[in-house]
Structure 1
Amino acid sequence: MTSVALACNVPVFRYALERWPADPYELVVLHEGKLSAEDFAAVDTLRQADVRSDTPANFHVRTIEISAAEDSLLQDIWKKRESGNGPLLVTLYPRNAQEVPDRVVSVHPLGSQITQRSVDSPVRQQLAKRLLSGDSAVWVFVPCGDKAQDEAAFERLTVEVKKNQQSLELPPQDELEEDDLFQPENPIELRLGFSIITVDREDPKEVFFLEMLLGSEPDLESLDEPMAFPVIGRGRVLYALVGKGIFRDTVAMASRFVVGPCSCQVKEQNPGFDLLLAVDWDEKLGGAAISEPAETPSKGPILIDIPTGKK
């Protein structure tokens, strides 16, 4: 994909962390008739963590009585539910996630354990912690369950991640300091570093996390192969590498893109989608968080190739 953009020296991962707010998910509670006291309590629990709360996650909660639902997608979901079930929690990808094949992340009964784990999970907490510690990118590795495939893919990923960490370089400090878009007051160390985190497909605490990842591209859910997802900024997943697609060239392409200059400052013109994470990014970044577009630099536009590294 080629796009017109304006270049700066700030690395993509740093620019994304400081200037790309995480897009909000929509959590829609579909119900028929009045909600019970138990259902209201479940909705209230979700709202305590949404973007309006003191510890915000990037999602909004809406309750919709099915007779008032105008969205045909929601109407179809309700029609397909099992008869006699109570309210449903329908989770939708952010509207800016233009590359996902289906808006729906998941559909579960309201109040189920999966519903309670939609907002946060142990692996997502660790992922956010690493991004906030300064990792340029965190690779999320999803084994398929076949030991031979998983070990081979993980070994390839580990070798290439280490190789890129050793061979790539950030722009010189003096060049960064001269760039108007550089934020020296950011409390997070600017460094080059990659890490890998594994999420078990059988872990019940990570069901929703896996639903977000595997629903982000066509056919990922049906593939019985290990996968790797590079994540940067405030939880932006670039794309999936699958099976033998996890190898030297694809890992290097993603790594170079992440640490390279942020030539395309418009978030939506870059690949990927945002994860739902329970993190107050602005608070963690302090005065260095700039959740709005930068002013247009005086230099003219250039054409850049935005990598789409697929399987």
Structure 2
Amino acid sequence: MIGMTVEWLSNGVRDRRIAGVSFALILAGVLAACQVPVFRYALERWQPDHYQLLVLCDRELTETEAEQVDQLRQRAGRSSSSSSVSSNFDVRIVRTDQSENRFAKVTWEQHGSRNQPLLAVMYPENAQEIPDPLAGTFRLSSDAIDNVTRSPVRTEIAKRLLSGQSAVWIFVPIGDPDQDDECLATLQREVQRNQDSLELPEQEEVEGEEALLAEVDIELRLEFSIITLNRDDPKEKFLLDLLLSSEPDLADLKQPMAFPVLGRGRVLYALVGKGIAEDTIGIASRFIIGPCSCQVKNQNPGFDLLMNCNWDEEIGTAKLSEEIPSDKSPPVKLSIPPGKKK
């Protein structure tokens, strides 16, 4: 398969997004695609990108602080007492008075304190479209560790995706009942419409092994759902910040938003206000359930949430998809005309 990068000709963030997904759908029709839907290939094969959790300090950690760092590493499945990998983040202690890491030093100067270590969360390196690599900073504490590594909404999203749902839409209300009710009603209507009208590839065509469908632990089916993320929920503050910081303008927009999530916590992009509409929801839905024409994860839109889930263990060994072989072909650069939401 030939690798691809895209040169965008549009000016607006949402223009780029609509053009990109439309192009992905067109591409799916002309390339030789495997019959496994995108969402299922993403669940089985796309390993989540890793966040970097930096514990910044200008002194030796106390015994309590060292125990908190070990608690973080246990959540990641990388402590001396744990052999499984259960979260997509790595933990590193950085002594700012000794390190030459400029990012760590600047972050400490802007957010740190001599009285307490700082937990700085960095987006994955592969999330190159995110404007600021710093996802958030917290005073190191057990509460901060809980807030960063898990939350009720993320736990529920993982549960639904592992049950076989094609995607979970995160709806983020703005607090204006008129806007929120209209956008949520549109999202509910169109999500249900797409669930009822779209079709998966014929099951007997999936990798040519009908018997394999009986062996997998997770049923292959088409199903969407919606979960609401309230902006004033303290347990979801980190998740909200992750979403709103994923594009340059989202935090400033006073409109409801919707984010489709698939695979192992892959967020495609945001639909905002009037952009939560029949055509944009349909574009996202058809991409999610369509044949997986582009199996290389980083050639698809989106970024991964920080999730506390051992995906490989939950999914099991029997899979519908085949792992893509290594491809060293150089990327092909394409120019795509802008696609605007009218």
**Which TM-score applies when normalising by structure 1?**
0.90
Distance in 2, matches of 1:60 and 1:18, equals: 22
Cα offset for 1:103? 0.8
Instruction: Tell me if 1:265 matches 2:276.
Output: no
Matches within 5 A, 1:125-274: 125-178=155-208, 185-274=215-304
Matches within 5 A, 1:76-115: 76-81=106-111, 83-111=113-141, 113-115=143-145
Contact 1:93 1:105 in 2 (8 A): yes
Cα offset for 1:61? 0.5
Question: Which is worse superposed, 94-103 or 249-258?
Answer: 94-103
Instruction: Tell me if 1:26 matches 2:52.
Output: yes
Contact 1:31 1:64 in 2 (8 A): yes
Query: Which amino acid in the other structure matches residue 65 of structure 1?
Result: R
Distance in 1, matches of 2:280 and 2:130, equals: 20
Distance in 2, matches of 1:255 and 1:302, equals: 26
Query: Which amino acid in the other structure matches residue 232 of structure 1?
Result: L
Identity, in percent, stands at 53
Cα offset for 1:288? 2.9
Deviations along 1:107-165, whole A, 9 cap, x unmatched?
A: 11111623332111111111100000111010001111111111111001000000100
Instruction: Tell me if 1:50 matches 2:76.
Output: yes
Query: Which amino acid in the other structure matches residue 155 of structure 1?
Result: A
Question: Tell me, what secondary structure is at the counterpart of 2:260?
Answer: strand
What is residue 104 of structure 2 aligned with on the other side?
A: 74
Taking a change above 3 Å as real, the CA distance of residues 187 and 83 of structure 1, as seen in their structure-2 partners, is closer
Distance in 2, matches of 1:272 and 1:67, equals: 36
Cα offset for 1:234? 0.4
Contact 2:38 2:288 in 1 (8 A): yes
Contact 2:41 2:321 in 1 (8 A): no
Structure 2 residues not aligned, in runs of 5+: 1-5, 7-22
Query: Which amino acid in the other structure matches residue 75 of structure 2?
Result: A
Query: Which amino acid in the other structure matches residue 281 of structure 1?
Result: W
Query: Which amino acid in the other structure matches residue 261 of structure 1?
Result: P
Query: Which amino acid in the other structure matches residue 64 of structure 1?
Result: V
Query: Which amino acid in the other structure matches residue 70 of structure 1?
Result: E
Instruction: Tell me if 1:284 matches 2:314.
Output: yes
Bigger fraction of residues in helix: 2
**Which TM-score applies when normalising by structure 2?**
0.82
Contact 1:85 1:109 in 2 (8 A): no
Question: Tell me, what secondary structure is at the counterpart of 1:80?
Answer: helix
Taking a change above 3 Å as real, the CA distance of residues 92 and 11 of structure 1, as seen in their structure-2 partners, is same
Distance in 2, matches of 1:77 and 1:302, equals: 37
Contact 2:111 2:137 in 1 (8 A): no
Question: Tell me, what secondary structure is at the counterpart of 1:40?
Answer: helix
Distance in 1, matches of 2:319 and 2:310, equals: 11
Contact 1:253 1:309 in 2 (8 A): no
Contact 1:235 1:274 in 2 (8 A): yes
Structure 1 residues not aligned, in runs of 5+: none
Report how many residues are paired: 306
RMSD: 2.9
Question: Tell me, what secondary structure is at the counterpart of 2:76?
Answer: coil
Question: Tell me, what secondary structure is at the counterpart of 2:149?
Answer: coil
Contact 2:68 2:142 in 1 (8 A): no
Instruction: Tell me if 1:37 matches 2:63.
Output: yes
